[in-house]
Structure 1
Amino acid sequence: MDLHYALYHSKSLEPASATLHNDILQVSARNNARDHLTGFLHREADYFIQYIEGPKTRLYGALARIGRDTRHSNFEVIQNGPAEKRLLPDWTMGFVDPGLLNLSDLLDVSHGRLDIRTIDPFDLVIFLVSNAGALRSGAAAA
């Protein structure tokens, strides 16, 4: 398999709500299972941050579809490329809102001053994988 990954962020155009998040989670899980993609989405304040991995062609097709979604703006792929192995092999889509871990708290900044572009992409991936692990172990609610 030609395994690739991508890390992106965007700004939500809709207020946080269980209905919105459940819709995103259900559609993503269905599409990702079909396309053999795995990933984890985090929402914090107005930001969405996602790590997604899978076959190259399907991954980049999914990113194009995600980028066209009208529920967010400023879609930006922070980092992408080939991957040696999956970091989230058993997650068609994981999601925590606001998350067991909170970027603002970790960085000691207010939500209004959080700037995803200033965070090292590797640290964002570790953050998302840690949230997935915490959710898996039952320490957080989806």
Structure 2
Amino acid sequence: MEPSTLMTTFYVSQSQIPPADADSAVHDIVAKSISRNRVSQITGALMFTGEHFVQVLEGKAAEVDTVMASILADPRHDHIVVMAREKISERLFSDWDLAYSGPSRFVIRNLARLRRASSVADRRQETRWLRDLLLEFVRHNGSE
């Protein structure tokens, strides 16, 4: 993929943050990500369930790949699964450097279903559902 191609990456990871430290650690992640994303022209959304991170990143391929490399090396994440990585013509989260509306623990059962999806079609359907859920949270809460 051309480094300047607009793309999106959607991943799920298991949190390695101790529950007692989660609120402050996630607040720190969000604050630093907003700053970094603004400079890199990355947009997207983050959801934290207490056990997992779910994130959509959008931007130029080279910039998104740089952010993903950082996430892959971050000890706060484990079992990172990239659910989708695809070329896009427009951003869904264009107004947010990083939208985050707080912990989303009710999504846990749907993450388990997504991780168990055996077919490519099932995985795509579940990935779309979670991406749409992130977009709905953003629209409803209007947070950044």
> How high is the TM-score relative to the length of structure 2?
0.82
State the shift of 1:77 in Å: 0.8
Equivalences for 1:37-48 in 2 at 5 Å? 37-48=42-53
Does the CA-based 8 Å contact 1:4-1:81 persist in structure 2? yes
Match of 1:15 in 2: 18
Does the CA-based 8 Å contact 1:9-1:116 persist in structure 2? no
Cα distance change of structure 1 residues 22 and 127 upon mapping to structure 2, 3 Å threshold? same
Partner of residue 88 from structure 2, selected from 73, 79, 83 = 83
Uncovered stretches (5+) of structure 1, i.e. residues with no partner = 108-112
Uncovered stretches (5+) of structure 2, i.e. residues with no partner = 118-122
Equivalences for 1:1-142 in 2 at 5 Å? 2-16=5-19, 17-99=22-104, 102-104=106-108, 114-117=112-115, 118=117, 120-136=126-142
Deviates most, 40-49 or 12-21: 12-21
Cα distance change of structure 1 residues 115 and 47 upon mapping to structure 2, 3 Å threshold? farther
> How high is the TM-score relative to the length of structure 1?
0.83
The superposition leaves residues 77-100 of structure 1 with CA deviations (integer Å, 9 ceiling, x where unpaired) of 11011011000001001112323x
Alignment partners' CA distance in 1, 2:41 and 2:59: 6
Runs of 4+ in 1 over 4 A off after TM superposition: none
Higher helix share: 2
Paired AA for residue 2 in structure 1: T
- The secondary structure found in structure 1 opposite 2:103 is coil
Q: Percent identity?
A: 23
Alignment partners' CA distance in 2, 1:13 and 1:103: 18
Alignment partners' CA distance in 1, 2:102 and 2:130: 16
- The secondary structure found in structure 1 opposite 2:24 is helix
